[in-house]
Structure 1
Amino acid sequence: MKKIILSLVAIFTLLPFTVKANEGMWFLMFIDRLNHRDMQKMGLQLTAEEIYSINNNSLKDAIVQFNGGCTAEMVSPQGLVLTNHHCGYNVIAELSSPEANYLKNGFWAKDKSEELKPKNLYVRFFVRMDDVSKRILSLVNDDMSEAEREKVINNEIAKIQEENSEGGKYTVVVRPFFQGNEYYYFVYQDYTDVRLVGTPEESIGKFGGDTDNWEWPRHTGDFSLFRVYADQNNEPAAYSTNNVPLKPKHHLPINIGGIKEGDFSMILGYPGRTNRWMPAGGIEQNVKYAYPAWVEGSKVGMDNLKKYMVEDEDVNLKYASKYASIANYWKNRQGMIDALTQFKTAKAKAKQEAKFHKWANKPANKAKYGNVVPTINNYYALTNEKASHDNYLSTLLRSSAFGTISRGLGRQLEMYAKAPAAKQAEIKPALAQVVTEFYNNIYMPAEQDVLAAQLNLYAAKGKAYGVAPQVAALTATNNGDFANAVNAMFEQSIFRSAASVQAFLEVPNANFVANDPLMVLSNDLLTHLSVKSEELMQAENDFQAAYRKLVQGLRESGISDIQYPDANSTLRLTYGTVRALPKDKRNPVSENNYTTLDGMVKKYKKGDAEFDLPQRLLEMAENKEYGRYADKDGTLHVNMLTDHDITGGNSGSPVLNGKGELIGLAFDGNIEAMAGDVIFDPKLQRTINVDSRFILWLIDTYSGASHLVEEMEIVE
């Protein structure tokens, strides 16, 4: 393969060359210039080239994006992939059944022939990145509307993607940074034959449940193992029994020597989204309008699913992943409300914007920046009630399979009914399978209750902005109680059962689908969510331009000291140390930067959905059967704390020591620093990680899957 040499143009020229330890989600291609010296002082023993290289194997080759939403890492030369239990949760649930419940009871393949292939699962390797800011921004100007600007940029992005995909071998993504003031492209290679190798019992992998989520002290084995397969040439290939384990360019050694306070550590991963540049008005809108609606709507969805999930194991498996996702963000958003309020983040941002506004209205700056802050504030004032409405409606759509039926199964039936007879015959078998799978994954009583409860909430709380016309009409006739209305809709709908839809496939009629009551309701909800008045579209256009100028001006003026771009699911590095929180009587250890198996056992509640534990684990804990994974203090460490800057998407990220060895697996943050997506707090910000020794102990000693550990490179 020919060597690729990227020229480091004058990127980040507006930024100073000093950085703040712990804060920042950094591009790997700039580590040498911006971070490496600082990292060396803290304990890094690798060169910048050993972290990121496009010509030689490096650390970045061991890090993958897992199924589009998490991070994972290669931990053996035979393609083993380590990530969080909650990242593999939906896949484990999919592969489970009441008879073989891997989610509840765990699973360990005795050999490669027993590894399980889910329907859809992929990992994405990062190949390289480069700057295309000058190329793209040279094509736009301030006289363009945002729509015109977007069209020009998207056309150029398509060219960049084609130029770098090598005929489809690679996936190329171009992303904006600093609110559209810079652009970079990223080249990836995807592998789609990924199989489940092992997972602990849910009582271990999800120990503490919603109660402990986002909390410290924490005691959970939040990990799972997969394996990537490739063709005989080590290239991506569709699933086949002829495929062989991938030979990764780099895999991570796993260190079981233990950690101590102040040790250097770093995380590489794919953080999903931060909003460190968010204006004060946006923070205020989230705290008072958007997030309260999200929290309330999520709770309604959770409550109406849970009452069925606890009664039937099959129903629990159907909804386990959806419930976990809703619950995670429910607690996250409440934590955001509390943290942003407590730290008066909006007020701090408003002070910064007042300072910026004064700078912006100096004669030299006024033409470009003078109206930026008023334009932004006007937009938020206009959209506060809409933000509340949209979140009530969005939580309805997230929790109800039938709220979005018109853009899923309903749309497919409509296209089928309109197709010529020959085409219908061709697609009918596949569509029949889609129908079967859809109904196999839902429980109709739960769906009806969720939809009715969410419509009740939405009709009551969304009216300040104006609810969807169908909902308004139904509200006028049902006195705000949608239970009977929803039951009537299902009784009259072709979507009432799998049998009813299968019968439709035999005698298709497009009018039946278009006029179906659930289809009509779903179309109305989705349309209402996306519809915008001319006033709103103009305000959005002005806001987007003003927001971009705000970020540009804050950097140009030096008023903001943020030196890194917001997270947007691209590979980043963050670094800091193992760092304790203040002593806590709930965690009686020598330094409050770790928890132990003893602490996990103390939380044990027999039969409790969140705090039960397997009998074997309890017995091994009592007998101190820790082997080589015990800490020098004689305990088995379970979780540990670092002070890294992470967010959603970093789940499953490797925590590495100064030699690039795995010491832990990131899975959560602490609720005290929940404002971290908007503002970094160096005193409170912590990352909660599974200790590598607990992971290996669970695989090796507890589960007896020593053959997997034998694949790995263990550093004593």
Structure 2
Amino acid sequence: MWDFYIPSRVGKMAISMRGAFRFVRLALVLPALLWALRGEAAEGMFTLPELREELRDTLEARGMELLIDELYSTYGPSVEDAVGRLSNGGTGAVVSSQGLVLTNQHCILPNLHELAISGRNYLEEGYCATGRQQEVPLPGLSMRFTRVVRDVTPQILAFVGEAAPQAKRDSLAQMAGQRLIDSAEKKSGFEAELVRLRGGNTWQLVEYQTFRDVRLVVVPPRRIAQFGGEGENWLWPRHAGDFALLRIYTDAQRKPAAYAKSNVPYSPPWSLRVSVDGYKEGDLTMTLGYPGRSERYLTTAELQQRMQVVNPAVGRVLGQRNRVWKYHMDASPAVALKYALRYSQSENYRQKVVGENAALRRAGEEKRRDEEERAMFSWLAQQKNTGRSLAALDELRNLTLRRNPAVHRLIHYREGLANSLGFYQIANRFRGLQTALEKGDDEAIKRMTKLSKEDMASLFRDYDQETDRAMTRSMLKFLRGQLQPGELPAFYRLIDKDFGGDIDRFVDELFRESAFVSPERLGRMLARPKAKQLQKDLGMQLCQATHAKMQEDLNMLVKAHPALEEGQRLYQAAWVAKEGKGRMYPNANGTLRFSYGRVEGYSPDAIRTFGPVTSLEGMLLREDEQLDGFEVDARLKGLSERKDYFQYRNAESMMSLNFLTTNDVVAGNSGSPVLNAHGDVIGLCFDTNSEGLLGEVGYSPRVSRAINLDIRYVLFYLRKYTEGLWLFSEFRVVRDGKEEGVFYD
């Protein structure tokens, strides 16, 4: 029906009727809202069906010019149809009728890394297609759009029943959900998914349409997209031109299809306009995106586990790992290319957990959470039939405390060994080969030893033996200092017995003899595999012993999982009963969410105050050729010095670059369009500030900020820096509140 639906936004009559309707509504609701809005926090990542119930009046009082049905509609195209999720985990927005997608450069880093490995280093050099024939396929990248969201809570809970034990609830819910999924997919042809919200108290059926032919159109070089380098993550002020343009292609019938030269540009049901009118402090902003994960309803014990066990351990292990990688990357461009993506992701996560703890302490989140929890227990004690909830919450607290040692160990096994040692990841692939050889399972042996040249090359493509040797030495010594002797994997006993406790000798022997540190040795072993050879292989021994320790702790955690799930389900149900469903927005889980806020700076402390906007001129002031990441692109510098900004300069005749809003966002919102009151794109979300890094766990209206890229900078870059002028015929540009024609020099 979308191909023939005419959006209500077109035509003077539709606009006039919409305005009259809003006037009547505001006349009724405005007096009651004015006082509340003065101090209202813009907290919450709301599912779209809940917009009508909870936010309509608030958004209209704040000045939203769209109807809710234009944001999200069940009967025709709307803004949400233009916002999709990239398979890498970020968000993208369709900004043309020809399937042009705006997202962040860092959302496609894995794809840029793949291209760089193959010799096309667009990560460092940037890229701009000069026509559609030059758009670059990105194998493995797909984008899916939410087409239908339906509340199916009554159907699911009726099947599950209130008395069902927690261990069976999810499986029962999936059984009931599968019937709904099968029916929906048969009817619509879309992919359907059952989504669990509020700890299993709310269930939605979401239908998606997935496109698998996505191509690169434009990406700036790293020195522009990531000005300041890894050290700038989460910081404000910021000066990053973090964007990329992609294009979705379909088959000739305009249906999703795998890559083919004959495919045609996607014709979307809705595309977003881009506004060059800018913004001022206090203006309403809205985001739509796919935030990955939040845990806003943790109990005090769960929050303490995160702050006192998880984050410190992850920060220490990743710090140790990243120092080794960085040292070897700085010494060799070839190593830097192999490890760049892993290092970037690892360092980003390390900074995140360290910053999160600092933000949570500054916000006093532990004290606030404890006070809320005590109030909840007091309220529950006064209600009828809450004995089960009180008992479950008590068990949740006790189990969380008992899990802490296992959680601590697992972080060290997983991040210190499994995710740090390259040979471990190769050996782990063949862990079952030893068992197959001992059992004489010829079919399994053949399956595991049959590797093509391409498979072998892929295993070692991003591997450097000397870097991995240094990492192994470093991590084995580090773990010995972090864990108790009884917590260490069994291979440490081998080090003590056969190598006199000398880790360096053990590592040298491992890299001299193991089959898993070079393609030549692995090839020889697979050609004539023997069980005894694998038993003696030090690399395999390390892998097997570490896996055994991880499995031991995982089994314990899995056994406790149903009780933890029940505690969280009943805890969130209690909050809904006490505060109402509207305030208790569900945790982020990778589904489409809406948040709102305003353009606003912040004061991180009593001394400093940060404004909400940075500029290209400010970027030039930070230039430092001696400091990695702070080299200013020469062409960009020349354009700025000449003030050659075309019609995209701000009111101060400067080029706005990044800006802050109070929108509630977390990881996964990268690439989310930032919309003004009319629903037009004014920017692109790409980060949060360090003071707001409590975001997965909480939100502080005083300091939580989304960091966004100004859309005018994107247009300036396309028009003045690179050969992107041909793309302007696709954009619907809004100036002075009106859609305008295309401007050329």
TM-score, L = length of structure 2: 0.87
Contact 1:206-1:222 at 8 Å conserved across structures: yes
Aligned to 1:593: 612
Aligned to 2:153: 133
CA distance in 1, matches of 2:582, 2:153: 21
CA distance in 1, matches of 2:493, 2:382: 50
**Does 1:458 find its partner at 2:458?**
no
With over 3 angstroms needed to count, the CA separation of the structure-2 counterparts of 1:558 and 1:30, relative to structure 1, is closer
Structure 1 residues 575-632: Cα deviation after superposition (integer angstroms, max 9, x where no partner) = 11111224999999xx811001111011111153211122111222211111111112
Aligned-partner SS, 1:634: coil
Which amino acid is 1:248 matched to? P
Aligned-partner SS, 1:92: helix
Aligned to 2:511: 490
With over 3 angstroms needed to count, the CA separation of the structure-2 counterparts of 1:581 and 1:274, relative to structure 1, is same
Aligned to 2:27: none
Deviation of 1:135 (Å): 1.9
Deviation of 1:43 (Å): 1.9
CA distance in 2, matches of 1:364, 1:529: 43
Structure 1 residues 333-371: Cα deviation after superposition (integer angstroms, max 9, x where no partner) = 001111212222122211222222223333724422232
Corresponding residue to 2:307 among 287, 290, 297: 287
Aligned to 2:80: 60
Which amino acid is 1:233 matched to? Q
**Does 1:256 find its partner at 2:279?**
no
Contact 2:88-2:141 at 8 Å conserved across structures: no
CA distance in 2, matches of 1:479, 1:683: 56
Which consecutive aligned stretches of 4+ in structure 1 deviate over 6 angstroms post-superposition? 412-419, 583-588
**Does 1:24 find its partner at 2:44?**
yes
RMSD: 3.1
**Does 1:242 find its partner at 2:265?**
no
Structure 1 residues 560-580: Cα deviation after superposition (integer angstroms, max 9, x where no partner) = 984200101100000111112
Aligned to 2:470: 449
Structure 1 residues 54-108: Cα deviation after superposition (integer angstroms, max 9, x where no partner) = 3311111110101241111111222211111111112112111595421111111
Structure 1 range deviating more: 148-157 or 674-683: 148-157
Structure 1 range deviating more: 38-47 or 444-453: 444-453
Contact 1:405-1:522 at 8 Å conserved across structures: no
Which amino acid is 2:327 matched to? K
Deviation of 1:425 (Å): 9.4
Aligned-partner SS, 1:166: helix
Structure 2, unpaired ranges of 5+? 4-32, 736-745
Contact 1:73-1:83 at 8 Å conserved across structures: yes
CA distance in 1, matches of 2:645, 2:538: 60
**Does 1:215 find its partner at 2:235?**
yes
Which amino acid is 2:350 matched to? W
Deviation of 1:140 (Å): 3.0
Equivalence map 1:85-96=2 (5 Å): 85-96=105-116
CA distance in 2, matches of 1:263, 1:96: 41
Corresponding residue to 2:720 among 701, 709, 713: 701
Which amino acid is 1:566 matched to? N
**Does 1:543 find its partner at 2:564?**
yes
Aligned to 1:671: 690
CA distance in 1, matches of 2:293, 2:674: 20
Corresponding residue to 1:581 among 593, 602, 605: 602
Structure 1 residues 242-281: Cα deviation after superposition (integer angstroms, max 9, x where no partner) = 1111111211111111111111110000001111100111
Corresponding residue to 2:426 among 393, 401, 405: 405
Aligned-partner SS, 1:569: coil
Contact 2:274-2:734 at 8 Å conserved across structures: yes
Corresponding residue to 1:185 among 205, 220, 226: 205
Deviation of 1:322 (Å): 1.1
Aligned to 2:285: 265
Structure with a larger share of its residues in helix: 2
CA distance in 1, matches of 2:318, 2:444: 44
Contact 2:392-2:563 at 8 Å conserved across structures: no
Corresponding residue to 1:368 among 380, 388, 407: 388
Corresponding residue to 2:295 among 270, 275, 282: 275
Aligned to 1:230: 250
Contact 2:2-2:77 at 8 Å conserved across structures: no
Which amino acid is 2:311 matched to? Y
Aligned to 1:10: none
Corresponding residue to 2:662 among 630, 643, 650: 643
Contact 1:605-1:611 at 8 Å conserved across structures: yes
Corresponding residue to 2:681 among 657, 662, 667: 662
Deviation of 1:473 (Å): 4.5
Which amino acid is 2:517 matched to? R
CA distance in 1, matches of 2:261, 2:294: 41
Structure 1 residues 150-171: Cα deviation after superposition (integer angstroms, max 9, x where no partner) = 3322323333332222399432
With over 3 angstroms needed to count, the CA separation of the structure-2 counterparts of 1:472 and 1:118, relative to structure 1, is farther
With over 3 angstroms needed to count, the CA separation of the structure-2 counterparts of 1:286 and 1:21, relative to structure 1, is closer
**Does 1:389 find its partner at 2:398?**
no
Aligned-partner SS, 1:576: strand
CA distance in 1, matches of 2:634, 2:185: 52
**Does 1:713 find its partner at 2:732?**
yes
Structure 1 residues 204-260: Cα deviation after superposition (integer angstroms, max 9, x where no partner) = 111112222111110000111111111111111111111111111211111111111
With over 3 angstroms needed to count, the CA separation of the structure-2 counterparts of 1:415 and 1:426, relative to structure 1, is closer
CA distance in 1, matches of 2:371, 2:580: 11
Deviation of 1:468 (Å): 2.8
Deviation of 1:313 (Å): 2.3
CA distance in 2, matches of 1:414, 1:167: 47
CA distance in 2, matches of 1:541, 1:677: 23
Contact 1:404-1:526 at 8 Å conserved across structures: no
Which amino acid is 2:482 matched to? K
Equivalence map 1:269-348=2 (5 Å): 269-348=289-368
Structure 1 residues 26-46: Cα deviation after superposition (integer angstroms, max 9, x where no partner) = 111221222122111112111
Aligned to 2:628: 609
CA distance in 1, matches of 2:377, 2:203: 26
With over 3 angstroms needed to count, the CA separation of the structure-2 counterparts of 1:559 and 1:193, relative to structure 1, is closer
CA distance in 1, matches of 2:725, 2:248: 19
**Does 1:349 find its partner at 2:349?**
no
CA distance in 1, matches of 2:82, 2:581: 34
CA distance in 1, matches of 2:357, 2:378: 30
With over 3 angstroms needed to count, the CA separation of the structure-2 counterparts of 1:612 and 1:410, relative to structure 1, is farther
Equivalence map 1:152-191=2 (5 Å): 152-166=172-186, 169-191=189-211
Aligned-partner SS, 1:640: strand
Structure 1 range deviating more: 200-209 or 127-136: 127-136
CA distance in 2, matches of 1:132, 1:607: 58
Contact 1:456-1:481 at 8 Å conserved across structures: no
Which amino acid is 2:523 matched to? Q
Aligned to 1:11: none
Structure 1 residues 420-471: Cα deviation after superposition (integer angstroms, max 9, x where no partner) = 6899599946x43122122122222222222332232223213288233334
Structure 1 range deviating more: 562-571 or 30-39: 30-39
Corresponding residue to 2:458 among 414, 437, 443: 437
Aligned to 1:8: none
CA distance in 2, matches of 1:168, 1:578: 40
With over 3 angstroms needed to count, the CA separation of the structure-2 counterparts of 1:356 and 1:582, relative to structure 1, is closer
Contact 2:436-2:444 at 8 Å conserved across structures: no
Contact 2:436-2:442 at 8 Å conserved across structures: no
CA distance in 2, matches of 1:601, 1:270: 33
How many residues were matched structurally? 701
With over 3 angstroms needed to count, the CA separation of the structure-2 counterparts of 1:509 and 1:211, relative to structure 1, is same
Deviation of 1:674 (Å): 1.4
TM-score, L = length of structure 1: 0.91
Which amino acid is 2:408 matched to? S
State, as a whole percentage, how many aligned pairs show the same letter: 28
Corresponding residue to 2:64 among 21, 30, 44: 44
With over 3 angstroms needed to count, the CA separation of the structure-2 counterparts of 1:583 and 1:291, relative to structure 1, is closer
With over 3 angstroms needed to count, the CA separation of the structure-2 counterparts of 1:99 and 1:177, relative to structure 1, is closer
**Does 1:692 find its partner at 2:692?**
no
